[in-house]
Structure 1
Amino acid sequence: MMKEPLLQASELSRYFGTEVAVNNVSFTIHKGEVLGFLGPNGAGKSTTMRMLSGNLAPDNGQIIINGVDLLDHPKQAKAHIGYLPETPPLYKELTVAEFLQFCARLNAIDKQHQKAAIDSAIERCGLTNVSNRLIGNLSKGFQQRVGIAQAIIHSPAVVILDEPTSGLDPIQIREIRQLIRDIANEHSVILSTHILPEVQMLCDRVQIISHGQLMFNDSIDALSQKMQASSLLLAFEQPMLAEKMRHIPGIENIDTLSDYRFRVHYHPDTNPTQSLLQLAVNNAWQLSMLMPEQHSLEDVFMKIIQNEDTDA
């Protein structure tokens, strides 16, 4: 059964003068999903994040947050959004508890519920031991936690995080990633990042944007499928001629890497592995290696972006 949609963006476009920053972007996020938002610098990620959070009006399109139209009813819709920009909006002269009290008031949390909301945000973000310290005296990792705490203090339906692990050390990155996983249990999360492994570790779905256009919008499993290359690496104990393998059904091309090593490209629907193994046995080819190749996420990302550039 499909979970309820908490955010629906339809045909979003935004222009700066004659320049198109975002061009006809549409997508939906459901409850409990983490959506990874990828793209090179200047691709339109931050512009899209600002539109989704209500900080920038689209020139065209519609944004529905938890059933409320953001353009028609901005105040009501924004009550369902938590937003952490790339630079956390912190008052560093306040303590953590003072700042979150201020955020609770900004989000119009009832006075009788403010303490519970603050305590919950502090606990969920691992801030209990620093709640009475000045924000300006905290490490960048703890300041980022405070930024996330202000984004979730009012229990929004959708939490938008723009580069949440940027500039953190490896230990802090691991802690913030675990926090994001925990948040996703109760909210929908949009995660804008340039760290590709982060997408694989955290996200259910992935979107890739380039030059303001959505180039890929699918599940992390579909992205993993793209990482499966249609090629095999072969090695033999003795010199081998590529011509001996060219007639095998499905093989499209063979790269000769040396007299002993080859890369075999095949049609995705016709994997020649079994045929190659059978021929190697029948003809005593002394096959020493047969290994499927796999693209990295970076390879797939670059291919999607480069295909878009070529089409343009």
Structure 2
Amino acid sequence: MAESIGIASPPSENQTGNKLKITFTGPQETLIGPLVARATDARSAHPILNDTDSIRVMDQIDHDFDKFGIYKTQATIYALRALCLDRWTTEFLSSNPQATVVHLACGLDDRLRRVQADLTKVRWIDLDLPDVVELRNKLIPYPEGDYRLIAADATEKAWLEQIPVDRPAIIICQGLAMFLEEESGKRMIRQIIDHFKSGQLIIDHIGTILLSFQNQVDALVATGSSWKWAIDEPKTLEALHPQLKMVECLGPTEFGDHAFLPLGTRLMMSTYSDLPWLKYISCYMRFDF
């Protein structure tokens, strides 16, 4: 079912000081998990992402955060991955200072603020479903410059028609693909590349083994949501469009220094690279197109 499409207006100031009650369920509620991870990392003695603004956002929300099972280890792993995507985005903008950035399923992630994109040159678009955009508008300040917050279903085509194709584009798709039906996810990728013509796609995915164990993932159990699409060989995504060429693919052990992780977690992760079915149990990829 197609969602409504619109460009959100800048948020009005909340004068009441009351915390916002989250009523989302399913995949939309899972946006709380990454927020908790960013805030937990920011509060740690040695933050990696150091997204201190996530603490401010989290403190404005009334929700059961504990049910997501996000503790220091999970927060560290998430922060390393988010930092990687921030770095890839910054690298693209360094080479393409006048570009379009599209952050799909942005949730409550203020990646724009972290990468400090120059909105006098960069066109930045955050996109999520209408009720998520409504919540985001109440919690995250609307930046000045060439910025739009679009309320739409990322798998639909109509939202793309709002965005000019006069610049190279970088598409950031984190924490979305695995929740989509396979054909919807593939169609989304094709539509995006057909529209923008040139740029990069940053996307994460899971391996099929995780589909069998998702009933042990706290965030999924807590929200009643499920993963639907998985891949075991990331390079196969190149077949979705003739312009797609993989630039980089990182498995679970390849996101940088794991020194802050517990020894048991490090030992477990060290086995991933040696076992073919675990090498890409989760992965982050970037493609040129």
For the criterion TM > 0.5, the same-fold answer is no
TM norm structure 1: 0.28
State which structure, 1 or 2, has the greater radius of gyration over its C-alpha atoms: 1
In proportion to residue count, which structure has more helix? Answer: 2
